[in-house]
Amino acid sequence: MSRLLILLFLLFLSIGLFQCGGEPEPDNSGNNTNNGSNTGGGTLGKGQPGVVGIAGIDAWDKLASSEKDRIKNWNALFLHQSVGQDLEEGCKANGFPFDYYGPNDKTDGGLRGGIFVDVGGIANGNPSEKIRVFRENATRNKDLLQIAIFKFGYADVMDDNFEKVKTEYKAFVDALRAQSPTLRFVHVTPPLVYSTTSFEGNAAKMKVGQWMKDTFKNTDVIFDLQELESNNGACQQNNVWRICTENRNTASDPSDVNGIDSSDGQGHIGKKAGQRISKALLMSIYNAGK
C-alpha cells in the first residue's frame, strides 16, 4: 500500500512540474516571431527597406524556392488598374498568382489583387478616390492585412496635380501606419507612358517616383516600376523617361488582358516583359516581409 501511495505522489508531482514549468523559452533569433504583425497570415520577419528596381529581377531568380514560397502565406493586398493587371499576369506566369479581391472581400489567404474599378468603381484619372478606396479596405481588414501594395495608374499623376497627390498619399500612409503600426508597405512608382509630352505627365510621374524613394526608402520597400519600364532611363526624350518599346504591349509582345496600346499616351506592359518585370515586384514583397 505504501508503494502505491509513493507512486501516486510521484505522478501528481510530475504533472505539477509540467504545468508550472511548461512555458516555452522566448525566441530571440528574430526569425520566429511576428514582430507584432497582424494575425491571419504567415509569419513576417523584420523586413528589408529600400528600393527594388532592375536588380530585383536577378535577386528573385537567385532566391531558393523555399524562400520564394514564403510570400504565398503573407496577407498582401495589391490594388491597381490595368498596368497592375499586366503585373499580376506576370506574377502568375512565374508561379505566384494573386487571388481575386473584390468589394467587401477579406485580405486573407495570401496574395490578393484587385482593380479599383471593381473594388470601388474608380476609374483611372482619380487618384484621390483610389487612395480613399484603398484606405477603407485596409481599415476594414486591419486585423488581417500584413502588406499593403498601392499602385497609381498611368493617368493619375499629371503636371497639374502631382503635388496634391504627394500630400494625399503621405497622409494616407501615415494614417494606416498609425492605425496598424506593424503594417508593411510596398510603394510603387507611378507607371510611365510612351509619350514624353508634358500633357501626358511622365515628368510629373518621375517627380512623384523620386519623392517616394526619398520619403520611404528607410522604412518601407519601393518597387521602382519606372526604372524597370524605362530600362533605368535608357529610354527617354529630353531627360524625360518613357516606357521602352520592348516593354510595351506591342504586336510583338501583346498583353493578355490589355491587348496592344492604341496610342503613345498609354503604357501597358507586354506579356513577356510583364513576366520579367514582375519578378522585381515579387522581390519587393519578399523584402517587405523577409
Output the tens digit of pLDDT for each of the chain's 290 residues: 444 444 444 444 443 433 433 333 333 323 333 333 454 578 999 999 999 999 999 999 999 999 999 999 999 999 999 999 999 999 999 999 999 999 999 999 999 999 999 999 999 999 999 999 999 999 999 999 999 999 999 999 999 999 999 999 999 999 999 999 999 999 999 999 999 999 999 999 999 999 999 999 999 999 999 999 999 999 999 999 999 999 999 999 999 999 999 999 999 999 999 999 999 999 999 999 99
Position 17 scores a pLDDT of: 35
Which residues does 66 contact at the CB level (< 8 Å), separation at least 6?
Answer: none
pLDDT at 21: 38
Q: Are 202 and 241 in contact (CB under 8 A)?
A: yes
pLDDT at position 4 is 41
Of 191, 210, 212, nearest in space to 265 by CA: 191
Q: Which amino acid is at 220?
A: D
Cell 529581377, located at residue: 57
Joined together, the cell numbers standing for residue 128 give 484621390
| 3-class DSSP state of 5 | helix
Secondary element (H or E) of residue 57: helix 55-62
Angle at 206 between CA 171 and CA 51, to 5 degrees: 75
If you ran DSSP here, which 8-state letter would residue 113 be given? E
Instruction: Provide the pLDDT for residue 8.
Output: 40
Reading the block at residue 87, the C-alpha cell is 503585373
Residue 74: per-residue pLDDT = 98
Name the one residue in this structure whose C-alpha cell is 508597405: 185
| pLDDT in the model for residue 15 | 39
Q: Are 80 and 257 in contact (CB under 8 A)?
A: no
CA angle 263, 268, 272 (to 5 degrees): 125
